[in-house]
């Protein structure tokens, strides 16, 4: 089967040399049992290549299971992948086979592999190295013969540096790396994709297909497309439905592709949504920072009030009395009374007065320490009732239970 037939069979559109090369690698590695790691930005169409690998392998008659690791909650991911025994946790009413047991003899595609918890990564590494796994709640070792193809839209090397991904698992998965280029690096395919999507939506909605004039085509190709093929498809569908005129010029196209500095979407929150308050922990951190700021402001206010209440005469009298006491003893070996013993010391040799300053212990700024402190206080306040403590902290009871285990809180 030539490349053109492969593209048609798996719905791949494009003629760029980079795309053709990636398809060739997928076909070439398919007959082997090597693990493959597919990387690329979100929306580039990475999900087509595991299907190519499966269909051109000796496992094509076996099962092909695609799993989105980022869409499965952390508490159930092990059960989904490896199965569980009856009674192993609340809600486990019967035995269940996991995906690795179901896909025995076939291929399993793990999308968004970078979202796997570290504990699950350990289990996956064992499957890759020995073909063995254990169900949740079981001590019996099971065997599986599965070909693993993984995909990620994050930079795994950065995740390794941050301690979020195991380095040994990365090297085990990355036996054959395949990188799918973003749409901005396949400019010759952009207009071709637009015309294909326009034709598909014309058939779907029973209307004439939209077309672009020359100026609109230049604008389409020069745009950066941060959402890649998925974004292009969505915009094509919007234009197909909304615009009455079937010939689209650059002015109309700009209404759907707002351009700033040539390549950016100004109205999207993409970077903020992913990094700001992406988890309950980050929300708790923000609350702790706000509380610390309020506490510092309160300390400053109390200090100012005390400063104003202390009069200059009192300070002057205290100093005069202290000096008189220091020189009452001609030898200079003055031993202060109990009231002042913590404030003044006399050096007999140098006859030099040394004033001890108050020791300030800097408050810990560790976010983890603050989180542990807040959880402890909330549990003490509610007498160990996790449900009420979780409600006060603004997190789920499951998350609170996980944090108690994570920090080994009594």
* pTM of this structure: 0.62
Distance CA 14, CA 229 (A): 11
Tell me, yes or no, whether 172 and 259 share the same domain: no
CATH number at residue 385: 1.10.10
Q: What is the CATH number of the domain that holds 109?
A: 3.40.50.300
Q: Cβ–Cβ contacts within 10 Å for residue 154, how many?
A: 17
Residue 173 lies in a domain: yes
33 with 93, same domain? yes
Rounded-to-10 torsion of CA 242, 248, 252, 256: 60
d(CA 207, CA 46): 31
CA angle 293, 299, 301 (to 5 degrees): 105
Q: How many domains, in total, are found in the chain?
A: 3
3-state secondary structure the chain: CCHHHHHHHHCCCCCCHHHHHHHHHHHHHCCCCCCEEEECCCCCCCCHHHHHHHHCCCCCCCCEEEEEHHHCCCCCHHHHHHEECCCCCCCCCCCEECHHHHCCCCEEEEECHHHCCHHHHHHHHHHHHHCEEECECCCCEEECCCEEEEEECCCHHHHHHCCCCCHHHHHHHCCEEEECCCHHHCHHHHHHHHHHHHHHHHHHHCCCCCEECHHHHHHHHHCCCCCHHHHHHHHHHHHHHHCCCCEECHHHHHCCCCCECCCECCCCCHHHHHHCCCCHHHHHHHHHHHHHHHHHHHHHHHHHHHHHHCCHHHHHHHHHHHHHHHCCCCCCCCCCCCCCCCCEEEECCCCEEEECCCCCCCCCCCHHHHHHHHHHHHHHHCCCCHHHHHHHHCCCHHHHHHHHHHHCCC
Same domain? For 107 and 210 the reply is no
Domain final position from 146, 181, 216: 181
Residue 112 included in any domain: yes
Range of the domain at 261: 184-272
Quote the CA–CA distance of 347 and 354 in Å, as a whole number: 7
Beta bridge partners of 352: 347
Is residue 310, in this structure, part of any structural domain at all?
A: no
Residues 158 and 197 in one domain: no
Cβ atoms 241, 212 nearer than 8 A: no
Q: Is residue 355 part of a domain?
A: no
Note down pLDDT in tens along the chain; length 410 residues: 788 999 999 999 999 999 999 999 999 999 999 999 999 999 999 999 999 999 999 999 999 999 999 999 998 999 999 999 998 888 888 999 999 999 999 999 999 999 999 999 999 999 999 999 999 999 999 999 999 999 999 999 999 999 999 999 999 999 999 999 999 999 999 999 999 999 999 999 999 999 999 999 999 999 999 999 999 999 999 999 999 999 999 999 999 986 554 444 433 333 444 444 445 555 666 677 677 777 777 777 777 777 666 555 555 555 555 555 554 544 444 444 444 444 444 444 444 444 444 444 455 556 778 888 888 888 888 888 888 888 888 888 888 888 888 888 87
Residue 311 lies in a domain: no
Q: Is residue 119 part of a domain?
A: yes
Same-domain check for residues 175 and 45: yes
CATH (domain of 241): 1.10.8.60
d(C-alpha 221, C-alpha 187), whole Å: 6
The domain boundary, picked from 134, 164, 181, lies at 181
In whole angstroms, how large is the CA radius of gyration of the chain?
A: 33
Dist. CA 170–CA 164, nearest whole Å: 11
Using the 3D structure, point to which of 157, 181, 205 is the last residue of a domain.
Answer: 181
Taking the C-alpha atoms of residue 45 and residue 65, their distance in angstroms, rounded to an integer, is 17
Task: Check whether residue 209 and residue 83 sit in a common domain.
Answer: no
Q: Are residues 152 and 140 in the same domain?
A: yes
Q: Are residues 57 and 149 in the same domain?
A: yes
User: Do 10 and 47 have their domain in common?
Assistant: yes
123 and 67 both lie in a single domain: yes
Q: Both 68 and 145 in a single domain?
A: yes
Q: What does the alpha-carbon distance between residue 23 and residue 26 come to, in Å, rounded to a whole number?
A: 5
309 within some domain: no
**Rounded CA gap, 216 and 199, in Å?**
17
Residue 287 lies in a domain: no
Judgement on whether residues 23 and 129 belong to the same structural domain of the protein: yes
């Amino acid at each position: 089967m030539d490349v053109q037939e492969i593209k048609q069979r798996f719905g791949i559109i494009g003629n760029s040399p980079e795309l053709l090369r990636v398809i060739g690698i997928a076909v070439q590695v398919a007959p082997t049992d090597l693990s493959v790691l597919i990387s690329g930005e979100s929306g580039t169409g990475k999900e087509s290549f595991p299907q190519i690998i499966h269909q051109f392998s000796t496992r094509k008659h076996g099962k092909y299971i695609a799993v989105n690791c980022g869409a499965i909650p952390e508490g159930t991911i092990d059960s989904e992948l490896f199965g569980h025994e009856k009674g192993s946790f609340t809600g486990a009413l019967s035995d269940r086979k996991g995906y690795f047991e179901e896909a025995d003899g076939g291929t399993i595609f793990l999308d968004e592999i970078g979202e796997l918890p570290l504990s699950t990564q350990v289990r996956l590494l064992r499957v890759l190295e020995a073909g063995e796994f254990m169900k949740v709640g079981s001590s019996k070792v099971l065997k599986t013969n599965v070909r693993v193809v993984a995909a990620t839209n994050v930079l795994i090397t950065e995740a390794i540096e941050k301690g979020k991904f195991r380095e040994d698992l990365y090297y085990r998965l990355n036996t054959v790396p395949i990188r799918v280029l973003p749409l901005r690096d396949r400019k010759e395919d952009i207009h071709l994709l637009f015309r294909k999507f326009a034709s598909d939506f014309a058939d779907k909605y029973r209307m004439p297909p939209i077309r672009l004039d020359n100026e609109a085509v230049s604008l389409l190709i020069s745009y950066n497309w941060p959402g890649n093929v998925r974004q292009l498809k969505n915009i094509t569908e919007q234009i197909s439905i909304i615009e009455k005129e079937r010939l689209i010029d650059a002015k109309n196209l700009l209404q759907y592709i707002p351009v700033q500095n040539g390549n950016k979407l100004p109205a999207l929150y993409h970077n903020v949504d992913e990094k700001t308050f992406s988890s309950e922990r980050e929300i708790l951190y923000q609350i702790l920072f706000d509380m610390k700021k309020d506490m510092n402001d309160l300390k400053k206010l109390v200090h100012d009030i005390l400063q104003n209440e202390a009069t200059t005469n009192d300070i002057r009298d205290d100093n005069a009395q202290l000096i008189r006491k220091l020189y009452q003893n001609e030898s200079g070996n003055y031993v202060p009374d109990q009231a002042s013993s913590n404030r003044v010391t006399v050096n007999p040799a140098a006859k030099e007065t040394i004033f001890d300053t108050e020791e300030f212990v800097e408050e810990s700024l560790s976010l983890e320490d603050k989180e542990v402190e807040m959880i402890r206080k909330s549990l003490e306040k509610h007498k160990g009732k996790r449900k009420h403590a979780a409600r006060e902290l603004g997190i789920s009871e499951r998350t609170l239970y996980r944090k108690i285990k994570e920090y080994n809180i009594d």
